[in-house]
Structures are given as C-alpha cells and as structure tokens.
A and B are shown apart, each in its own frame.
Chain A
Amino acid sequence: MREMISELSAKLHSGEMSSVELTKEYIKAIEEANPRINAYVHTTFDYALEGAEIADKLLKQGNASALCGIPMALKDNICTDGLLTTCCSKILDGFKPYYDAAVWEKLKAQGAVLLGKANMDEFAMGSTSESSCYGAPLNPRNLDHVTGGSSGGSAAAVCANMAAYALGSDTGGSVRQPASFCGIVGLKPTYGAVSRYGLIAYGSSLDQIGPLTYSVKDAAVVFDAIKGVDRRDQTSKAFDYSSILKSLNQDIKGKRIGVAEEFFEGIDPDMKTQIYEGIKLFEKNGAEIVNIKLPALKLALPVYYIIACAEASSNLGRYDGIRYGYRTDSYDSIDDMIYKTRSKGFGDEVKRRIMLGTYVLSSGYYDAYYKKAIVIREEINREFNDIFEKCDVLIAPTAPNTAFSLNFKGASPVEMYLSDICTVPINIAGIPSISVPCGKDAKGLPIGMQIIGKKFDEATILNMAYFYEQNSEDKVGIYEGGVRI
C-alpha cells in the first residue's frame, strides 16, 4: 500500500520532479499498458500536458493544493468541456460537452491533471464493465477476470498505476465493487455530499461521485477536494465538513461496529473468514461489536432495480439523435430516426433497463412497482436509522464474490443483479460507504470490506478504514507495473 497522492505531492512540492515530468511518466505507462488493460477509452494527453504546465506554475508560486500536478482519470460519464464524454455508449459517439462537471471544475482549479476518460459499463449499468461499447477493461490483478463495474476503467487505471487516483460514480456499488475486485480503495460518499452537476445521470436519486484510490488517506484527500454544496445541484447539501484528512487518527476505541448476518448470507466462505478476521482486529483494538438485524435487506435489490431503472428510463429518453451523439444514417421520418437511433445506439443491458423502468412506471403498474418501491425505500431508511442509533458503523462484504472471470456465461441478467446485494442498500439509504482491500480468496483475487456510516459521517468510516489499512497485513499488495516512482 502506498500513500500515492501524498508521496507524489511531496515530490512535486519539493521540486524533486515537475508535474510535466510526472505526467509524461504516466503517459508512457498508459501507452504501454492500456492496449492490454483497456482502462482508458479516451486519452487526453495534450490536455494533460497543458494542465501539468499550469500545475507547475502553481507549484512554483507556492500554496498549491495536495492534488496540484497529480495525474488522474475521470470516469467517462463525467462531463469535460470540449473533451469526449461518451458513457461508453455508441449513442453518445463523438459527444463533447460544452461545460465541465462540478467535480472536474473543482479539481482543475486545484491543478489536477487529466490523463483521460476511463472505461465503464454503458451508462454505468452493469457490474463487470463488459457492457462498454469499447470492450471490457481487464483486471490488472488477473487479466482473465473483469474489473467489476461500472467504474471498472477507473479501478483498473488506479490499480495498474496508470493514474494516481480516479473518480467514478456509484449508483448501486459502481465505485466500491470494482475497487474491491481490483484491490484498491473506493469511497461512495453520502448522497448530496458531492455535486452531481455534469455527471451524466443513470439513477438520479442514487448516483454519487466518489474517488478510487490506492489508500484511505488518498481517498480522504480527494474527497476533501470534491465535496461541498453546489448551487447547480439542488440535491447537494451544505454540510459543514472539516478536513477529513486531518481527522484521520486511527482512534477506534469504543466505536460500535454493527454486523448484520443478512449481509453474509450466501457469500463465498473465504470472504466471510477474511472479513470476520477484519472485524476481530477492530474488536481486539477496543471497538465494540453489535449484532444487528436488517430484515429489509432482501428487499433492497428489487427496490433498487425498480427505482434505478425507472429513473434511467426517463433520464435516457433524451438520446434521440437530434442534438448530439450518434444518429442513424437512414430514416424516413423523425419518429423513424429516433426509433432507429435508439435501437442501434443503445446496448442490450441499457435497453433492458429502459424497458424495465418504462414498465414499472406505466399506468396500471405504477402502484404495484414504483410506488411500492418508494414505500419500501422509506422502510429501509428507517431500518438504517434505527441501526445507527445503536452503532457508529456497519461492516459488511463489498460484494458476495470476488472478480468474475471474463465473459462469465453462467450468469443470467438476474443472477448478475444479485451480485449487487451488498452495495445497493447503501445507495437506497443515501449513506456513505468505503471499500477497503481485505485479503484475497483462494484464487488470489482481492476481497473488499465495506465500512458503512451515517449520513455525512465520512470522517468515521474513513478513520475506521484507515485504522484497518494501517494495522492489517497487506495481503493484496500493490500492482507491479505502470508508473514506478
């Protein structure tokens, strides 16, 4: 494990190397490894070098931020002014937004260097990143396996030292699950902690942008940089966070850790062992374990797929070939053009979710599906609220399994959806959660442990994760390749 951001930042601030030099190293690493790993779908090397030059000036002036001059990646659903942003979908072929997402605006202002846009499941719909129109990224830990998804490219880029950190988006686990599959750290902040302005929507009431990093400290640095209310996103909240980085002290004494058996049902026995060992480490060091019940958990999955698909079916209605992106070549009327554009432009998984969402919102079915899902969502929220009366955090696996092998044929869409069981309840409740590496399974694939907290209490989950990271044996290790500085 390396404190990648602080190490690189120290070198840049001391003048040991320039951002331009560092950026060139990353570019070299990407050129070497990306053809194999497919983490990036659009590289922005010229833009990166321009950004590095600006960063070097800021560094020379002094007072530069911790992220100044550090090369990074953005998931391909985060808008960047004048740079391709395609959600890895054919329907957004060639789309260059004319504005920056709020997160990129913030990072850019702090001197961040953008290496490129990272691969992902089409419109962030998937758990393997295989629904990308550019083909799946490969898991750097084992190229026969997927990175997880949907922020698979972001996870692969960080894991393979092709970016010092990356941003992903997490609607039902899309930051945490690929982080766990690739053996890195992934943070899903509280809904409303980070502006969604410029994040191309999938499930608007669930989507949240979060960092994928080497270490917990790195995650704290990036979260500190991107959090905060934004007047362009009404769902963002003005929460008065102090610096999370400064609050990391590994003090976990007396912290109450909730453990719900429901999270461990049907998971791989190796994983269960590793995560329980992790929980014991906390217990040995003064934390208190509270056994709790989460009966609504089994309802989280259907609730998630109803709400996310309903919102997606509406959010994705705008891709009609009229204003931007792909348009079919031949058509005989406007209706025909829209029909053909959407038929050819969207992949199967996206179509499946649009149809599901359209169905659950249709008159005659609305009450039985969407309305009921909203009611159960409230119930799930209540259960989490009750739990957080008794506990400070919850610990659970990030996923019921480690990385799938590529083209895992056994899985029907529904089986694939089931693999999201550990992460989706967190998005439904809008609470924060972090995935940290927690050993490996028998095949040597990384396991992720999820630490879940109260709304706007990122400080506690990051501190717990930091303790774990610093005090557990690093069984996953860092990837041998990419940038070595």
Chain B
Amino acid sequence: MRYEVVCGIETHIELATNTKIFCNCTTAFGGDPNTHCCPVCTGQPGSLPILNKKVVEYAVRAGLAVHCKINNISHMDRKNYVYPDLPKAYQISQYDEPICEHGYIDLDSGKRIGITRIHIEEDAGKLVHENGYTYVDYNRGGVPLIEIVSEPDISSPEEAKEYAEKLQLIMRYVGISDCKMQEGSMRCDVNVSLREAGTKEFGTRTETKNINSLNFIQKAMYAEIERQTDILEAGGTIVQETMRYDDVSDSVSPMREKENSDDYRYFPDPDIIRFEISQDKVEEIQGSLPELPFDKLERYITELQLPEGTAKQLFKYRRITEFFEEALAEGASIKNASNLITGTIYASMSTEEDKELFKVLISAKQFAALVKLLDEKKINVKMAQGTLQQMLESGKSAEEFIKAEDMEGISEADLTKLCEEAIAANPKAVEDVKAGKDKAINSMFGYIMKQTKGKADVKQAEAIIRELISKLS
C-alpha cells in the first residue's frame, strides 16, 4: 500500500530577552545551579508573576515575521501538571487566546506551510542526575519561550527540515533568539502520521519530542515513517504516544510516561491581567522589522544581479548582509564587495556561528574604501585580498598596508614594454603558445609581476602578450 505522510511541527524557541518572563532574573545560559533564581521563578509561596513586556514584543515580532495575525488582546493561562522541574506545578502559558495566529512560511518549491499559532510561555527548570540522586536546577525556569505550531501541511522529511531551517533563519534575523538547537534555545517536536495515499482522514499520530538538530528532524522523521509503515503493513495499529529519537542508533522509541492521561486543567491565570498590544505598537514593531531573509535573497538576485550562489552565501547572516549593504552604500561595487566577503572574509570564519556573530575588527566603511581601490583598478584582486587579510587581523585601514607607489597604476605603455621584455626572455614559451599550449603564457607573467611588485593587471598583461605574439608570426 502507498502511504502519504502528514506532519506538523511544534517549535519551542527561547527568547533572547535579558531577563526572565515573570521576574528580573537573568536568562544567561549556564551559571552555577540555582543562582539565576528568585522567589518568583522558583514558585515560592506568596510570590507573583509580572509579565515582561519585552517578551510580548518579541512574540509579536516573531509573529509578524511569519505573516501572523496579532491578537491585540491576549491573556496567560495556567497549564497544570506535576513535575519536579516545574516549581509551581503549573506552567504559565497561553491556551485559547494565543498572541499570534494564522501565519505561514513558504518553501522553495512554492508550497506554503501554515502556522496555526504562536504563543508565549515559560520554560521549566532542569533535572540533573548525579551519584544516584536527582537534583533540580531552576536557572532555566522562567526563561521566556514562544511555541510556534505549524499546520499539518508538511509531507516529507525534506520539507520538515526545510521548514525548520527557514523558521530558524527568520527568527534569528528578526533578533528574537539565537535559535541554537544544540544548546536548546530552539527545539522541535515532530508530529507524524500516515494515511493511505489519496484519502482525507488523518491517521493516528505520534510526537517525537525535543529534537535538537535540523538533520535529526529529517532522520527522526524517516525512522518514524519507517516504523509506522512496518506496523501498518503488518496489519497493526499506531498508538498515539510520545517518542524519543536516538541519534546514535538512528531510531525512535516510545518515551516512558506516566499512565494517567494528560489533563492540564487550563484556566486563565488570575495573577496576570489581560494585556493589550495596541495596533500602533504592532505597527511600530512591523516597522522595526528588518528586511526578511527570503525577501533579501530575492532582491540580491534580481536587483543586485548577484549570482544565486553568492546571494545564498550572503543572505543567511543578517550581520553580514548589513555589513555588505553598508559597504555598497559607501560606494563599493556589488561584485567586488560580495566576492571579497565570500572569499577572504569567509575564509577567516570557520564556523556557522562565527558568520552568525560576524565579529570583524574593521568597519564597513574601511572595507568599502578598500573595495573602491579595487573598483578603480588602483590595486588588483590579489592585492585587495592580501590587504583585506591584514586589515581583518589588525583592524587597521587599507592605507596602512598599501603604499602610494603601489597604487600608481602601470601605464599601458610601461606594461607593453614589460611584455615585450618578457617575450624576448622566454622564446620557448612563445613557441609553445604559438603551438596552442595556452598555459605556457603563465611563465611570462612571473617576470611582469616581479617587475611591478604584483601591481600589474594580469588580464591586461595577457591581452597585450597575446597580441604581441600574434604580431610576431
């Protein structure tokens, strides 16, 4: 039988606010256990939550970035369940009035994945198992989260990965989170069910929780599809349960859970008054959003006429695009600026994170000044690259490394003279070129470069040499 995959993804993203959602404790990652805590985030009797306004703004920002409708009036609910990492025995979340609804993300294929809702909630603490004891660390308790729930529009592991990747990129872009999956600031729960191809009814779904890498989303989904297919083929039925993905064995298995069914007894949290986000505020946030990544990619290709490959290398990293665009604004050429960034600058950044953080010692203005020397052919590409390298290491401007005489161009007459000397000194190479061995021409460049201390334009020299050789015959 042929099966069709139906998948929806719930994504938890930790918001990059400085303080927690209901108190003034820091949200910094790490720290000694239970040092980023206070009566509020450890649920001490008598303590009360105060909703952090920044959290609401960030959630609205996230919603607008994926084309959601913002609910101007919203409230917080209590989700009641007992677990040692949840000090109040309820999580403050949103149930029936999420702050954002009805958004979407478009895949490269043009397929649109709907976003049902985005809501605000608090993170729980963490259990630490050591020496046969279990300890609780509440540092993470009360860190603000948003949960982004997709429609069950995803039909393959590839689409699932692409959706998550795009979501991650967009959320990083709008600056609400670093979305580091390995550190848990973005985690995905993947809901998968199968149905007979062509039928409408959903099959029973499972939820594979807390997947912490983009590749694992794809792998876990493959494993789960295979598992469900095997069961269905053997005439069995799928049990609705929570699964865990193990990357070592590349397999999914049911999580051991308590027998009682979940009844979270949601009700409005009486400690937090209903809050309003005015339309003005929403518009202000909308106005403060940067150009979104896929709009930017489109623009780089169509307006800036960047090759697609280069545009794709650039658009992912917001700080880099800002640097690039600022350099253009300073008068740098698109081609040389983009090539120097994806060449020399990228070579100095070994990880994705380095590119994400984009910590460079030079300003876009300094960079543009260098690019302009290249644009005006005062220096050649090689010299530009070498100089940029030195600039990146020192933070100094191009003038520090390029002497005035280096920038004096080589006149065509001088270059022609040098070319003639080169031809005279390399009769064998000349013969080879004549015989169609094109590479032989390279041996004549060495002389020219040496004489000009690398300033000569290789292409120009090549043209002259070819012309001179052709005249020889």
Contacts and interface: CB of A to CB of B under 8 A. Distances in A.
A318 B270 contact: no
Contact of B265 (A196, A324, A358): A358
B44 A99 contact: yes
B267 interface: yes
A192 to B, nearest CB: 10
Contacts of B44: 97-99, 323-324
A10 B401 CA distance: 84
Given A314-B80, A320-B82, A362-B265, A197 B88 contact: no
A217 to B, nearest CB: 30
B88 A200 contact: no
Contacts of B43: 318, 323
Interface string B239-265: 000000000000000000010000101
A198 interface: yes
B89 A318 contact: yes
A199 B42 contact: no
B45 A317 contact: no
A95 interface: yes
Contacts of A310: 267
B433 interface: no
B50 A317 contact: no
Chain A contact residues (Cβ within 8 angstroms of B): what range?
35 or more
Residue of A231, A317, A322 contacting most chain B CB atoms (<10 Å): A317
Interface string B84-114: 1001111000000000000000000000000
A205 to B, nearest CB: 4
A378 to B, nearest CB: 13
Interface in B17-51: 39, 42-51
A334 B265 contact: no
A323 B46 contact: no
B265 A361 contact: yes
A288 interface: no
Interface in A315-366: 317-318, 320, 322-324, 334-335, 338, 358, 361-363, 366
Contacts of A201: 45-46, 271
Contact of B48 (A95, A233, A320): A233
B80 A317 contact: yes
Contact of B87 (A196, A205, A323, A363): A323
B45 A98 contact: no
Of B43, B90, B263, B265, the most chain A CB neighbours within 10 A belong to B265
A439 B82 CA distance: 50
B263 to A, nearest CB: 5
Contacts of B136: 322
B82 A314 contact: no
Given A205-B270, A323-B42, A362 B88 contact: no
A101 B48 CA distance: 11
Interface in B413-450: none
A220 interface: no
Contacts of A203: 270
B48 A196 contact: yes
A317 B46 contact: no
A197 B270 contact: no
Contacts of B87: 318, 322-323
Contacts of B82: 317, 320, 338
Given A99-B39, A231-B50, A334-B134, A318 B84 contact: no
A247 interface: no
A470 interface: no
A232 B49 CA distance: 7
Interface in B46-96: 46-51, 78, 80, 82, 84, 87-90
Nearest to B23: A232
Contact of B45 (A318, A334, A361, A366): A318
B272 interface: yes
B80 to A, nearest CB: 5
Contacts of B47: 99, 197-198
A232 B270 contact: no
Nearest to A370: B267
B469 interface: no
A235 B39 contact: no
B47 to A, nearest CB: 7
Interface string A99-110: 101000000000
Contacts of B402: none
A249 interface: no
A335 B44 CA distance: 21
Interface centre among B51, B263, B272 (most CB of A within 10 A): B263
Contacts of B128: none
Contacts of A318: 43, 45, 87-89
Contacts of A138: none
A324 B44 CA distance: 9
A181 to B, nearest CB: 26
Interface in A181-229: 196-201, 203-205
B107 to A, nearest CB: 35
Nearest to A99: B39
B463 interface: no
A232 B90 contact: no
Contacts of A97: 39, 44-46
B273 A235 contact: yes
B84 A317 contact: no
Contacts of A322: 84, 87, 136
B268 to A, nearest CB: 8
B283 to A, nearest CB: 26
Interface string A55-72: 000000000000000000
B90 A314 contact: yes
Interface string A221-259: 000000000011111000000000000000000000000
Contact of A98 (B39, B50, B271): B39
Nearest to B90: A314
A311 interface: yes
A361 B263 CA distance: 9
22 contacts: A87-B45, A97-B44, A99-B44, A197-B46, A232-B50, A233-B48, A234-B49, A234-B50, A234-B51, A234-B273, A313-B80, A317-B88, A317-B89, A317-B90, A318-B43, A318-B88, A324-B44, A324-B45, A334-B84, A361-B266, A362-B263, A366-B267
Interface of A: 77-79, 85, 87, 92, 95, 97-99, 101, 196-201, 203-205, 231-235, 310-311, 313-314, 317-318, 320, 322-324, 334-335, 338, 358, 361-363, 366, 370
Q: Would you list the 8 A-B pairs with minimal beta carbon distance, nearest first?
A: A317-B89, A205-B270, A361-B265, A204-B270, A198-B46, A200-B45, A79-B46, A200-B46
Interface of B: 39, 42-51, 78, 80, 82, 84, 87-90, 134, 136, 258, 263, 265-267, 270-273
Given A313-B265, A362-B263, 8 more contacts: A97-B39, A198-B46, A201-B45, A232-B48, A322-B136, A323-B87, A358-B265, A361-B266
